[in-house]
Amino acid sequence: MKKVLDWSAYYDQGLGDAYADIPKHGEDFAKAISVCIRSGVCQEADNRGVMCPSFRLSEDPLLSPGGRVTLLKQLLNQDEQAFLADPQLAESIAQCVSCKGCKRECENNLDMAAIKVEYLAQKRRAGHHSFRSWLFAEFPYLLYEFPFLGRLIRIRNRSKILRILAGKLLAINETIALPEPALKKYADDYPQQQSNEKARDLTDNDACIVLLVDSFTALFNPNTVTDALNVLNAAGYQVITVHPDSSGPEKVIDSGRSLFSQGYVERTSEQAKNLLSILRPHITLNRKIIGLEPSALLMLRDEYLMLNLGEEAVLLAKNTYLFEEFVAREQVAGRFKVTLNTTANEKRILVHGHCHQKAVGAMKSMRKVLRRVPNLSFQFIEASCCGMAGSFGLEAEHATQSKQMAEQGLLQALDADPSAVVICNGFSCSHQILALRQRKAIHLATFLASHLQ
Ligand code: SF4
Ligand code: SF4
């Protein structure tokens, strides 16, 4: 099997009985699957904290990480191609929301989200194409190339007939609104942040940082960029922004998350190389690269290392931080010198974590940063995946599961506190909250910007 991802890191991963029953076909991809030692931890129905949203919902072992592995092993033992045609595996993989819960909680760190990408890419290579999948993969790039699509989305969201039509023709979930781009995207001509009067000496490498703006934030939440710049500037950093338009209209600069999630690995590598070439001068200087949207930024730290991008990608991964991780880290180092004040009529705060934030332990940073605001009353929502998970909640066949996942904690917490401010850094989760409860969640950067002295 010619694999699309680099699985060599799995050469010696795993504990105990891992690798005891590596399937005959698939080489190092088969090894990555075989790290599962069938402990069954991911299939304990009475374990409320069980990692996998599709298993939590269905209690069907075949919809758990371990169940998916069992199917894959059986099929990869038959021949190299059998796993691509099996309908049971196709369904089981389709219900994986790529939350990385297994990577975080399985004792052998099974990475089903990456396995799913290899599976999707192999399927495409074997001739299984889907126009909808291509549409979701290329969504941000299409919006850059054809801005009128934003208007079309707004019309579709308000027209019952168009919703039904898109459901019939493209299998898009007609019960939910699609995310609507802002009227003006973030670019160099976006109304700028406050001047940076407190900028520190640029010979101090820690004072000069790069804010990497992903396409979803630039297109849908451009004000979040301005808010992040205001906060970072107020704390004395010199911020260089790199955004999708940074290299002109011909090339959209982006992490490639939407492409990767749909298994378009070659296109993702193209995007990654473009991004690396733009970031090269900063990587060489060991500058910190800060991102706002968890799944977009964490690509650089995780998935890029499976794309054969060389040493530069390793260096980049080491210097990449989520906004909250960076602020928390700087706070601890005593370099984040801003005063945050409670506002008049401060409301209670609910915080919803993106699955990928949770997978890398970034919620600790969220807590640390929020504690910086005096007397703030905030609560983390106890929930698993919000159910939107990239395109999952927009797919007609997943409409019910998506809503049910949201009902497992998230919606109850929102309903119990209708006037609370919701902080959520994930693009998909914020969209789910808006679509199902008409509440506009804000990014931590926006919250901090509104609390600057
Ligand atoms: S995926 Fe992980 S938690 Fe689930 S059975 Fe395998 S080893 Fe155990
Ligand atoms: S990535 Fe998430 S949804 Fe997929 S198998 Fe792992 S825990 Fe389950």
Express each pLDDT in 62-104 by its tens digit. 999 999 999 999 999 998 888 999 999 999 999 999 999 999 9
Q: Does the beta carbon of 110 lie inside 6 Å of ligand 1?
A: yes
pLDDT at residue 19 tops 80: no
Q: Mean pLDDT throughout 297-319?
A: 97
Q: Is 187 left (phi over 0), alpha (psi -120 to 50) or beta?
A: beta
Question: What are residue 352's phi and psi, to 5 degrees?
Answer: -110, 125
- Ligand 1 center–CA 132 separation, angstroms: 32
Tokens of 236: 């004395």
Sign of dihedral through CA atoms 141, 219, 136, 31?
Answer: positive
Atom of ligand 1 nearest to the CA of 65: 1
Per-residue pLDDT of 230-270, as tens digits, reads 999 999 999 999 999 999 888 999 999 999 999 999 999 99
Per-residue pLDDT of 144-199, as tens digits, reads 999 999 999 999 999 999 999 999 999 999 999 999 999 999 998 888 655 555 55
User: Bridge-partner residues for 242, per DSSP?
Assistant: 212
User: Would you state the pLDDT for residue 27?
Assistant: 86
Helix 427-437 crosses helix 399-407 at what angle (to 10 degrees)? 90
Atom of ligand 1 nearest to the CA of 38: 5
Q: Does the beta carbon of 39 lie inside 6 Å of ligand 1?
A: yes
Per-residue pLDDT of 24-77, as tens digits, reads 888 889 888 988 888 888 988 665 566 899 999 999 999 999 999 999 999 999
Residue 395 and residue 423 in contact, taking contact as beta carbons nearer than 8 Å: no
Residue nearest to atom 2 of ligand 2 (CA): 99
Atom of ligand 2 nearest to the CA of 113: 1
First and final C-alpha spacing in the chain? 59
Atom of ligand 2 nearest to the CA of 110: 6
Percent of the chain with pLDDT over 90: 80
Q: Mean pLDDT throughout 210-233?
A: 97
Percent of the chain with pLDDT over 70: 93
Predicted TM-score of the model (pTM): 0.94
Q: Mean pLDDT throughout 186-214?
A: 73
Instruction: Return d(Cα 359, Cα 449) in angstroms, integer.
Output: 26
Tokens of 44: 């304990």
Q: Does the beta carbon of 96 lie inside 6 Å of ligand 1?
A: no
Total count of residues recorded for the chain: 453
pLDDT at residue 391 tops 80: yes
- Ligand 2 center–CA 92 separation, angstroms: 10
User: Would you state the pLDDT for residue 73?
Assistant: 93
Residue 67 and residue 60 in contact, taking contact as beta carbons nearer than 8 Å: yes
Atom of ligand 2 nearest to the CA of 355: 2
Q: Does the beta carbon of 108 lie inside 6 Å of ligand 1?
A: yes
- Ligand 2 center–CA 409 separation, angstroms: 18
- Ligand 2 center–CA 446 separation, angstroms: 30
- Ligand 1 center–CA 64 separation, angstroms: 9
User: Would you state the pLDDT for residue 364?
Assistant: 98
Q: Name the average pLDDT for the chain.
A: 92
pLDDT at residue 4 tops 70: yes
DSSP labels for 8-45? Answer: GGGGG---TTTTTT--SSSHHHHHHHHT-----GGG-T
User: Bridge-partner residues for 424, per DSSP?
Assistant: 352
Which ligand ends up closest to the CA of 60? 2
Strand residue runs (E) in 360-449? 378-380, 421-424
Which ligand ends up closest to the CA of 101? 2
User: Would you state the pLDDT for residue 202?
Assistant: 52
Pairwise pLDDT comparison (437 vs 189), residue with the higher score: 437
- Ligand 2 center–CA 295 separation, angstroms: 15
Q: Does the beta carbon of 37 lie inside 6 Å of ligand 1?
A: yes
Per-residue pLDDT of 418-431, as tens digits, reads 999 999 999 999 99
Per-residue pLDDT of 116-155, as tens digits, reads 999 999 999 999 999 999 999 999 999 999 999 999 999 9
- Ligand 1 center–CA 420 separation, angstroms: 37
| Residue 107 binned pLDDT confidence (cut-offs 50, 70, 90) | confident
| Residue 18 binned pLDDT confidence (cut-offs 50, 70, 90) | low
- Ligand 1 center–CA 170 separation, angstroms: 35
| Residue 343 binned pLDDT confidence (cut-offs 50, 70, 90) | confident
Tokens of 269: 């590598």
